[in-house]
């Protein structure tokens, strides 16, 4: 039985992969929900926006890098119920981008090998994505 009383939140996430096969993680800053946890960069999909357009915007805002829709490959998704909303999060893989990622909003970022992803505490919705990325890489 489903509980339809929770609002649905659509968030797009990106597994940004460098030429060494490492994945970029960003740490949620103080003052935000789940502060201190590590996550795949991305953000809320705004009204009328596609998940790909959201990621292109978020990659520029959060990391100062540019990418294109053609460089974003859908990999999997997470579906997780939090206390006050249900999160639906498509995860895209991106290996082609311009610029060097830097935390533009004061967040720490780190390149991590797939085998080491479990060493970084993540929000509950992100955790099921780890084995899929480990299989990919």
**Does domain 7-136 match CATH 3.90.79.10?**
yes
pLDDT single digits (tens) 17-71:
999 999 999 999 888 889 999 999 999 999 999 999 999 999 999 999 999 999 9
For 130, list phi and psi in degrees, rounded to 5: -60, -50
- Determine contact, residues 137/17, Cβ cutoff 8 Å: yes
pLDDT single digits (tens) 78-127:
999 999 999 999 999 999 999 999 999 889 999 999 999 999 999 999 99
Closest alpha carbon to 129 in 33, 118, 119: 118
Q: Parse the chain into domains and list their residue ranges.
A: 7-136
CA–CA separation, 28 and 105 (whole Å): 10
């Amino acid at each position: 039985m489903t509980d339809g009383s929770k609002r649905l939140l659509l968030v797009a996430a990106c597994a940004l992969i460098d030429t060494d096969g490492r994945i970029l993680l960003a740490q949620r800053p103080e003052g935000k929900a789940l502060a201190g946890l590590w996550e795949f960069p991305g953000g809320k999909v705004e009204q009328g926006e596609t998940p790909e357009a959201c990621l292109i915007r978020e990659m520029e805002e959060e990391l100062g890098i540019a990418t294109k829709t053609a460089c974003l490959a859908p990999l999997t998704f997470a579906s997780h119920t939090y206390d006050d909303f249900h999160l639906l999060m498509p995860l895209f893989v991106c290996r082609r981008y311009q610029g060097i990622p830097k935390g533009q909003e004061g967040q720490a970022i780190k390149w991590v090998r797939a085998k080491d992803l479990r060493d970084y505490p993540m929000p509950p919705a992100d955790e099921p994505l780890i084995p899929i990325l480990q299989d990919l890489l």
